[in-house]
């Protein structure tokens, strides 16, 4: 097998831009500084606070694309120990996330010393923290300790659902791709049209499926009529109920599929800055809200109530989020990722799920 590079510059670029849009969305949506900025840039602040959050769709598509590349590059599950694989996924995303929650709680405490504002989370409780650590907070209706952390839980749900579908498809004689397609279309036609499902993977699985299909269809010769059928089904779903987020997901999936098929996924754009920003995007995502809270509080407490000074505070917060994300990536995320990648860390999947069930039991007892 020929050597395949680990980094995909186009995906790094997508993640870099999307993560910055999420940061700007949070800066526009939370904290008093954005109210000052709204006075001279109402259109920009309104767009960032409402529409920039659609950048989440980019991450959903990329996650589906990379997940099937790792699990089933040809549509057939390669893993022989799916529970161990699920434990590894939990360790990879949840350990940095739990560390970021500790930072978030410290930042929230500091921010409360300097300001009173509706964007400040309430004082955390043990059960609340445990629910977040177990990625159950959204399902249990528990208030978030930090903005955007719902996505971490959804990402884990999506991975588990994809793994389950591929495992079941393997048992049914290689029907994994078909099951993914059926559940993905059910998401587009039913679940994604009902906001009551937005704490569950089924609500987002349509976008995730588009990323998976982008990998599968670009990896091997696929009859044109199959691609046409899938595109027609997605377009019909949009005609029935147009959703900009699904249209964006489709566009990203088409670009990824074309880039993979043509080969420039692996070599364009050649930008070290975008590559680095893509690598640290998870750290930036985890750290941006607590850091922006502290900057908002500091400017509220110590800076004059002037529209231009407070608007500069938004820029300071944006830069601080990037620096904090980079520091978190190098000091926390990368060491934890190396630890979780060790074979002995996942030697027995029962270790992970026994701990998860014990913690869930404690959480229910505290509730």
Quick: pLDDT tens for 145-166. 999 999 999 999 999 999 999 9
Residue 139 has pLDDT above 80, yes or no: yes
Residue 366 has pLDDT above 70, yes or no: no
Residue 3 has pLDDT above 90, yes or no: no
The per-residue pLDDT for range 233-252, each reduced to its tens digit, is: 999 999 999 999 999 999 99
Q: How far from the centroid of its chain's Cα atoms is residue 365's Cα?
A: 30
295 or 92, which is more confident?
A: 295
- For position 360, what pLDDT does the model report? 60
Residue 36 has pLDDT above 50, yes or no: yes
The torsion of the CA quartet 101, 106, 107, 113, rounded to 10 degrees, works out to: 150
- For position 84, what pLDDT does the model report? 85
Measure the CA–CA gap between 292 and 274, rounded to whole angstroms.
22
The per-residue pLDDT for range 190-226, each reduced to its tens digit, is: 999 999 999 999 999 999 999 999 999 998 778 888 8
Residue 23 has pLDDT above 50, yes or no: yes
Residue 311 has pLDDT above 90, yes or no: yes
Q: Cα separations (Å) of 156 from 7, 130, 187, 209?
A: 22, 16, 17, 15
Q: What average pLDDT does range 26-35 have in this prediction? A: 95
The answer to whether 227 and 79 are in contact (CB under 8 A) is no
Q: Determine what percent of the chain is predicted with pLDDT higher than 90.
A: 79
Q: Which two tokens stand for residue 49?
A: 């606070």
- For position 365, what pLDDT does the model report? 55
Q: What average pLDDT does range 262-284 have in this prediction? A: 94
The angle that helices 281-302 and 82-114 make with each other, rounded to 10 degrees, is: 10
Q: What average pLDDT does range 43-57 have in this prediction? A: 96
Mean pLDDT in the chain? Answer: 91
327 or 355, which is more confident?
A: 327
The per-residue pLDDT for range 332-352, each reduced to its tens digit, is: 999 988 887 666 554 445 555
Q: 80-119: b or e for each residue (b if 16 or more CB lie within 10 Å)?
A: eebbbbbbbbbbbbbbbbbbbbebbbebbeebbebbebeb
Instruction: Tell me the whole-structure pTM to 2 decimals.
Output: 0.92
Q: Over the chain, what HEC string results?
A: CCCCCCCCHHHHHHHHHHHHHHHHHHHHHCCCHHHHHHCCCHHHHHHHHHCHHHHHHHHHHHHHHHHHHHHCCCCCCCCCCHHHHHHHHHHHHHHHHHHHHHHHHHHHHHHHHHCCCCCCCCCCCHHHHHHHHCCCCCCCCCCCCCCCCHHHHHHHHHHHHHHHHHHHHHHCCCCHHHHHHHHHHHHHHCHHHCHHHCCCHHHHHHHHHHHHHHHHHHHCCCCHHHHHHHHHHHHHHHHHCCCHHHHHHHHHHHHHHHHHHHCHHHCCCCCHHHHHHHHCHHHHHHHHHHHHHHHHHHHHHHCCCCHHHHHHHHHHHHHHHHHHHHHHHHHHHHHHHHHHCCHHHHCCHHHHHHHHHHHHHHHHHHC
Residue 44 has pLDDT above 60, yes or no: yes
Burial of residue 7, with CB atoms counted within 10 A of its CB: 0-12 exposed, 13-18 middle, 19 or more buried: exposed
Q: How far from the centroid of its chain's Cα atoms is residue 122's Cα?
A: 24
């Amino acid at each position: 097998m020929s050597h395949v590079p680990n980094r995909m510059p186009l995906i790094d670029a997508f993640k870099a831009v999307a993560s910055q849009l999420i940061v700007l969305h949070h800066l526009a949506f939370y904290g008093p500084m954005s109210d000052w900025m709204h006075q001279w840039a109402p259109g920009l602040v309104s767009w960032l606070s409402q529409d920039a959050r659609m950048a989440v769709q980019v991450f959903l598509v990329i996650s589906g694309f990379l997940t099937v590349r790792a699990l089933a590059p040809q549509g057939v599950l390669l893993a022989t120990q799916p529970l161990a694989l699920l434990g590894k996924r939990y360790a990879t995303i949840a350990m940095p996330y739990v560390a970021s929650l500790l930072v978030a709680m410290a930042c929230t405490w500091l921010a409360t010393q300097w300001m009173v504002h509706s964007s400040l989370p309430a004082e955390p409780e043990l059960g609340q923290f445990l629910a977040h650590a177990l990625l159950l907070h959204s399902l249990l209706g528990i208030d978030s300790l930090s903005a955007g952390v719902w996505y971490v839980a959804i990402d884990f749900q999506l991975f588990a659902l994809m793994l389950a579908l591929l495992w079941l498809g393997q048992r049914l004689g290689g029907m994994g791709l078909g099951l993914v397609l059926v559940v993905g279309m059910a998401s587009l036609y039913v679940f994604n049209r009902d906001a009551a499902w937005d704490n569950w993977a089924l609500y987002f699985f349509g976008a995730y499926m588009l990323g998976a299909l982008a990998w599968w269809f670009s990896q091997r010769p696929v009859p044109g009529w199959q691609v046409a059928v899938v595109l027609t089904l997605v377009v019909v779903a949009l005609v029935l109920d147009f959703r900009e987020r699904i249209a964006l997901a489709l566009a990203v999936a088409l670009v990824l599929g074309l880039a993979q098929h043509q080969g420039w996924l692996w070599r364009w754009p050649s930008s070290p800055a975008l590559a680095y920003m893509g690598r640290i995007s998870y750290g930036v995502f985890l750290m941006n809200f607590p850091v922006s809270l502290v900057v908002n509080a500091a400017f509220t407490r110590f800076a004059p109530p002037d529209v231009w000074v407070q608007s500069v505070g938004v820029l300071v917060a944006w830069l601080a989020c990037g620096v904090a994300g980079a520091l978190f990536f190098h000091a926390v995320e990368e060491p934890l990722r190396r630890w979780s990648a060790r074979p002995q860390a996942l030697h027995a999947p029962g270790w992970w799920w026994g701990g998860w069930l014990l913690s869930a039991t404690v959480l229910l007892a505290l509730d």
